[in-house]
Amino acid sequence: MILGCDLSSNPTPAPDTQNVATIVAGTIAAITVAPPAATPLPPTVLLPAQASGIPISFQNVSLVIPTGLANGAAGEQVAEVNANNGAPWEVAPAHVKLTFKGYPLQGTMWEASLHFYPAQQFSAMDDGAAQISTSLKSVIGNPSSLPGHLPFLPLINAQQDFYAQAKVLQFKNGTGIRYITQFDQAPLPVNNQEMFYTFQGLTSDGNTYLSLTLPISSPVLPANNNPNSPVPTGGIAFDQNDLSKFPQYLSAVTGVLNSASPGSFSPSLSTMDELVNSIGVTP
């Protein structure tokens, strides 16, 4: 089954530095929009949905979308972006990207997508990417001692506020770590518009770096990053008048999210893990 190429791209204007929420939105959008050029590919062809989900195959990658997580995917070959034609956080080698269609959460900061980067080429292009790849190998090798920040690609001009529900997962021919997180350029509430599930993995041969991003929500988080948005029962209040308490706030939110059951998130963590387990990458 060969997926069609989705070549649509909506360039994002530079963020308004006078508005924190706009900064964050611009930042995340800048990362999730594909580079400007892509190679046309044949139209999408999918087999009918089966009980276990929708099987997807594109170039050298395959997976099964669990029932209810999405209704399909579009594949594309993303063009290289280097220091001469893109911002530092946009740098990446040419790679395969899958974009999930019909994902249940819409209007969020992150696109439901999966990138397959050539690991050695990415590391050679950017020192930051090389450090992230090395960090991922360390995390996979010693998951009982996790660092303060977990590895994440693509590159992003924002800080990882927290991570929760970290767990090492296997896919068909590799290993990685999944977690939920949020990136920001300023202290903001952890919220359902920005938080997402990610899986960062490496194939066993070390040649391919996988980055999966899927928006996710929790019933104890506010709807968005507005400090005045109501906090649901069981959530943690954000004090915008005393940002010195921000580390304690993040620690408290992390504790609440870590103690939540997989099924309390939407979509369920277990469903997302099923997707990861199904991924296969051939040389």
- Mean pLDDT of the residues in the chain: 86
| Domain assignment of residue 8, yes or no | no
Q: What domain range includes position 229? A: 20-281
Q: Is residue 9 part of a domain?
A: no
CA distances from 161 to 64, 127, 149, 190, 192 (A): 31, 22, 8, 8, 14
Q: Is residue 11 part of a domain?
A: no
- Residue 6: inside a domain: no
pLDDT digits (tens, 9 = 90+) for 198-244: 999 999 999 999 999 999 999 999 999 999 999 999 999 999 999 99
Percent of the chain with pLDDT over 90: 80
- Residue 28 pLDDT > 80, yes or no? no
Asked if residue 4 belongs to a domain, the reply is no
Question: How are beta strands 54-58 and 95-101 bridged, if at all?
Answer: unpaired
What is the mean pLDDT of the segment spanning 163-186?
A: 97
Question: Is residue 188 scored above 60 in pLDDT?
Answer: yes
Q: Give the Cα separation of 48 and 250 in Å (integer).
A: 43
Tokens 């999405």: give the residue: 70
For 97-156, the pLDDT digits (tens) are 999 999 999 999 999 999 999 999 999 999 999 999 999 999 999 988 899 999 999 999
CA distance 51 to 141: 35
Residue 210 placed within a domain: yes
Strand arrangement, sheet containing 208-215 = 38-39, 72-78, 95-101, 113-118, 208-215, 196-203, 174-184, 159-171
Residue 52, pLDDT score:
78
Q: Is residue 14 part of a domain?
A: no
Q: How many domains does the chain have?
A: 1
**106: in domain:** yes
Could you give the 3-state DSSP secondary structure of residue 223?
coil
